[in-house]
Chains A and B, each alone.
Chain A
Amino acid sequence: MPDQRVGAYAEALLAVASVQEQSSRITDELFRIGEALRNNEGLLTALGNNRLPIANRQGVVEDLLGDKASEVTTALVSMVVATGIGGHLPDILDAMAELAAQQRNRVLAKVRSAIELTEDQKTRLADAIKSSTGTDVEIRVIVDESILGGLVTEIGDDVIDGSVRFRQAQLRETFA
């Protein structure tokens, strides 16, 4: 899919989300949905399969999100799936998150954590990153229990891995 088309959908979703009362929550939910779909190839293929009836694809979205996301979030994802580009949802939602950060003159920072972070932790982490790199970042948290503990921060191509899983790997290399 061309980047231009991905960008257009991202702008549209962000425009709709930004006029909602809980715009921050919606954009955060959309970002998390995109990351979840990126790691679930089977579900992504089903949502992008245009040979399936639109109603069926939208039904899958509603069954998955249901009460786990806001109605607006569910409606936006359902709309994208209905247009036949459900297979590109991760890229679109990722572009939307980056676009949202850019609109606030920030850089998107994807943070993987085994637990949910508090607002205070997010703020302190953003401040720490700014003090470290000189860049204002917008924290987007992805709960990933596979890292066991700690955090993994991705800012563009840079990765700061402070997870327990990474420490274990280092320990294994040391033993080996």
Chain B
Amino acid sequence: MTATMKRLARTFSLVGVVVLFAATPVGAVGETIGTCMFEKIENADLAALKGPANKDALLSFEADLEKCFEAPNPILPEWDEVIWGGAAFAILFAFMWWKGFPAVSRAMQARSDRIAADLGAAEQAKNQANAVLADHQEQLGGAKAQAAQIIEEARAQADLVAADITARANEEVAQMRAKAAADLEAARMQAVSDLRGTVADIAVGAAERVIKSNLDADTQRALVDAYIDEVASTNA
């Protein structure tokens, strides 16, 4: 029996006791003095009370009648009421034991089961939440580590890029210097070549003018003869 059912049993027992004792004064209150005396007179053998020989019986009867003037006991009920009240209580208690307690027990059991299930679900949810929290914390930790790694890699990459840019810039500067030097040298060579060409043009032009002025018929013939002699002497 569960603690709840024990509490219910104790509650019903207390109610029964209160009903038992509370019912007694109520029953007594309902019996009037006249009724009491009527019942005693009706139940008494009045013939046996007559005469001096029955003086003691008469005194006893009078004392009995005088009891009708006494107030009922506020605590102890009459026995018949105790019996009826006890029987009613027993019946009620038995009925409650037979029908009420199982229903209440089932309801309580269902409620207990539901609460237990809820507690289990809550525990499971709590466990899941803890697991999720742990997972999130782990992921957060991993993310932090990954972020730190990415930052470190980015910093290293930035350092490499900076070094590469610096190297390229230095290389480009060196190439530009070399190209500038080469261009300067080429320009100088071109200037020298142009100057030579100009000098050659001037010299050859002067020579051509001299040659043309001297290329008379005799000179032409001499040139032809010289050519023929040169060809003839080629195989010599």
Contact = CB atoms under 8 A, between A and B. Distances in A.
B211 A164 contact: yes
A172 B204 contact: yes
Interface string A41-52: 000000000000
Nearest to B202: A175
Contact of B228 (A115, A124, A171): A124
Interface stretch (B46-54, B76-84, B101-109, B191-199): B191-199
A148 B226 CA distance: 15
A170 to B, nearest CB: 10
A119 to B, nearest CB: 13
A152 B51 CA distance: 208
Interface of A: 113-115, 117, 121, 124-125, 127-129, 131-133, 148-151, 153, 160, 162, 164, 168, 171-172, 174-176
A149 to B, nearest CB: 5
B223 A128 contact: no
A176 B228 contact: no
Nearest to B227: A162
Nearest to A165: B208
Given A129-B231, A175-B203, A175-B204, 13 more contacts: A115-B221, A121-B225, A128-B228, A128-B229, A128-B231, A131-B232, A132-B232, A148-B212, A162-B223, A162-B226, A162-B227, A171-B203, A172-B201
Given A148-B212, A175-B196, A127 B227 contact: no
Nearest to B199: A175
Contacts of A129: 231
A115 B203 contact: no
A162 B230 contact: yes
B235 A131 contact: yes
B224 A168 contact: no
A153 B215 contact: no
Given A164-B211, A168-B208, A114 B220 contact: yes
Interface in B75-125: none
Contact of B231 (A125, A148, A171): A125
Nearest to A174: B200
Given A127-B232, A131-B232, A132-B232, A175 B200 contact: yes
Contact of A128 (B204, B212, B219, B232): B232
B43 interface: no
Nearest to A171: B204
Contacts of A174: 200
A153 B231 contact: yes
Given A132-B235, A148-B215, A175-B199, A113 B207 contact: no
B11 interface: no
Contact of B193 (A150, A172, A176): A176
A115 B197 contact: no
Contacts of A121: 221, 224-225, 228
A114 B220 CA distance: 8
Contacts of B234: 132
A172 B215 contact: no
Interface string B167-207: 00000000000000000000000000100110111011001
B232 A176 contact: no
A125 B228 contact: yes
A115 B211 contact: no
A149 B220 contact: yes
Given A128-B231, A131-B232, A175-B196, A151 B224 contact: yes
